Amino acid sequence: MVAQNTFGGVAELDERRHKFYLGADPSAASLTIGNLASLMLVSCLARHGYEPTLLIGGATGQIGDPKDTGERDLKSLEEIAKNKKAIVEQFRSVVSRAADLEKIDVVDNYDWFRDINFIDFLRNIGKHFSMTQLLDREFVKARIGEGASGISFAEFSYSLIQGYDFLHLFREKGIDLQVCGADQFGNCASGMHLIKKLDGKRADVWSIPLVIDPVSGKKFGKSEGNAIWLSPKLTTVFDFYQFWLNQSDEAVLGLMKTYTRLMPEGVDAIMGAHNSDRSMRIAQKSLAFGVTAVVHGAELAGVAIEATKKLFDGDGAVSDFSKISDADLKEFGRVLPSISLASRAEGLSLAEALVSAGLVASKGEVRRLITSGAVSVNGVKVADSSEMAVTGVVKVGKNKFLVVR
RNA sequence: GCUGGAAUCGUGUAGUGGCUAUCACAGGAGACUGUAAAUCUCCCGCCUAACGGCAUCGUAGGUUCGAGUCCUACUUCCAGCACCA
């Protein structure tokens, strides 16, 4: 679980102060499964007696972490404030579940940047950054030059801000280890060098590999439109569970290592069982439950499993969804988008219901899906987007459901 | 500041003033499967129950019967030169 670090081995860290931090920018209303990989490492360290601190990027989030394709749009301050709250909440709940830890320090880098004077910053910090090295970074090269999208001074300076964070936390709290995703290694290392230069002390960075889909070779879960979010408002618990359940045999081993608390022996045992009959998808099931339980709690993960059993073919499946009991429908509504039939006096058209529940982007899309036979109500394919007068389950495609109760 | 280029879907792209803006990737659906992978077929701006309607090639004007394409201004980016160090 190490991409690149700046120390000899974990044993070396054990000699030290046992304080570390992880940073996250409030650039969205929720963390994604990309961030979750870092959170799992944080939890692992916390279980072994290390003391975690979360840094929320109230300052850095106002600038935006430069990506290699192009400049980001600035987020409004209100949006940043909202995102901050949501992310801190997620961080706390995930780490406390995965590490049985109640108290987690949270700091906001805006608290110390708010009062920093620009000239002081250039004098004390900027002076220690080499332009040659700054220009040498991959994303800068990708942004400058023929056919490139360009880069603003604000984004260019991002890593100075992040570097200063590390120095600040080192001085104020004695934190001498930073955990980050591999894409952040450069930014984190700049802080490490600052500490060395200014205070003559040692600090380290532990970056974990970006999770790559072994089939497509693409970065995992962050491809813009279809990110998998930790917030149930953005990705339902059911979809979250299904996402892990649908992983390929090639990917599942690596994902278990990164995203579950299992020790190597446990992983081996599961993979052994999995390989004896792959069609049972034992590894995927284990992975899906484990991750869902950490993010959403064991109870909701259990509901997601129940819903999966009833809604898909196999043991215990209910092919006619109208036979699902009202109690079950209510329960499934906790992990699936749901809509109340009774709350609408007028007959609600199927198309409207699907669009308002967020299952389908537009009514035109619904029409296309119906034409291709993708939509069914209680197991019966529908021919037109007529009114919807029964309770039960609407199914769109293979694994999108709308509970009507 | 000067000169020359560039801006087309989530991404990368094609596009002599003329019919419905091309292709690929990503994404979605169907078939086949193990809710996997691979493969095949279809879809992939918005509205409408439907016939159909309305948009859209950085922004705003203009020329033209007709503009993604030509002209003008603006915005942003790139390159070279100059200026400044």
Distance in Å from B69's C1' to A120's CA comes to 53
Distance in Å from B68's C1' to A66's CA comes to 31
Q: Could you report the predicted ipTM of this complex, rounded to two decimals?
A: 0.81
Residue nearest to nucleotide B26 (CA to C1'): A223
Mean pLDDT of chain A: 85
Is residue A265 domain-resident?
yes
Distance in Å from B74's C1' to A264's CA comes to 62
Percent of chain A with pLDDT over 70: 89
- Report the domain count for chain A: 3
Q: What is the pLDDT of residues A33-81, one digit of tens each?
A: 888 989 999 999 999 889 999 999 999 988 888 887 777 777 888 888 9
Mapping DSSP onto H, E and C, the string for A243-291 reads HHHCCCHHHHHHHHHHHCCCCHHHHHHHHHHHHHCHHHCHHHHHHHHHH
Distance in Å from B67's C1' to A149's CA comes to 27
Task: Give nearest nucleotide to A399 (CA–C1').
Answer: B35
Same domain, A305 and A342: no
Is residue A381 domain-resident?
yes
Is residue A119 domain-resident?
yes
* Burial per residue of A212-228, b for 16 or more beta-carbon CB atoms within 10 angstroms, e otherwise: ebbeeeeebbbeeeebb
Is residue A121 domain-resident?
yes
Distance in Å from B72's C1' to A235's CA comes to 49
- pLDDT over 80 (residue A386): no
Task: Give nearest nucleotide to A278 (CA–C1').
Answer: B34
Distance in Å from B32's C1' to A113's CA comes to 58
- Beta-bridge mates of residue A20: A52
Same domain, A390 and A292: no
Residue nearest to nucleotide B37 (CA to C1'): A248
Domain boundary (A224, A246, A269) is at A224
Q: What is the pLDDT of residues A14-45, one digit of tens each?
A: 777 679 999 999 988 889 888 898 999 999 99
Is residue A113 domain-resident?
yes
Same domain, A76 and A173: yes
The domain containing residue A273 runs over which residues? 236-317
Domain boundary (A169, A191, A224) is at A224
Is residue A230 domain-resident?
no
Is residue A229 domain-resident?
no
**CA angle at residue A86 from A111 to A139, to 5 degrees?**
70
DSSP labels for A303-322?
A: HHHHHHHHHSSSTT--SSGG
Nucleotides of strand B within 7 Å of the protein's CB atoms = 10-13, 26-31, 33-38, 42-50, 76-79
Domain boundary (A285, A317, A349) is at A317
pLDDT number for residue A336: 92
Same domain, A301 and A193: no
Same domain, A304 and A201: no
How far, CA to CA in Å, does A93 sit from each of A89, A90, A104, A108, A328?
Answer: 6, 5, 10, 18, 27
Element (H, E) at A139: helix A138-143
Percent of chain A with pLDDT over 90: 39
